[in-house]
Amino acid sequence: MSAAIKVEEKLFQNRYKVDAGRPHISIIDEDKCRNNCASQACITCCPAGCWTMEGNGQVTVISDGCLECGTCRIICDDHRNVAWEYPRGGYGILFKFG
């Protein structure tokens, strides 16, 4: 019962229009995530599982499944290391029911 698989199953029910090649969330300074951040709360708390730890210890974000809640930006209050914009108009999550 892997949590990673479960969130993908959930997100599969959602409708998205992905803005290919133009992610709306990025890490400002990757070294900071790797060396200065003990909590890495973004990985634990993102409700869409967009944040992961690579094998080499680097934190990465893939925002294709993003629900545009803002959690990762606000939870990074020790470092303010998340560049976060809304997707371009019309792109991103398109809630069927909301």
CA-to-CA distance for 27 and 25, rounded, in angstroms? 7
Task: Examine residue 21 and tell whether it contacts another protein (CB under 8 A).
Answer: no
Q: How far is CA 56 from CA 21, 39, 52, in A?
A: 24, 17, 11
With CB under 8 A as the contact rule, the residue among 11, 25, 27, 33 that binds another protein is: 11
Task: Examine residue 33 and tell whether it contacts another protein (CB under 8 A).
Answer: no
Give the binding range for another protein (CB under 8 A) out of 6-14, 27-35, 55-63: 6-14
Give the binding range for another protein (CB under 8 A) out of 29-37, 39-47, 56-64: 39-47
Cβ count near 51 (within 10 Å)? 23
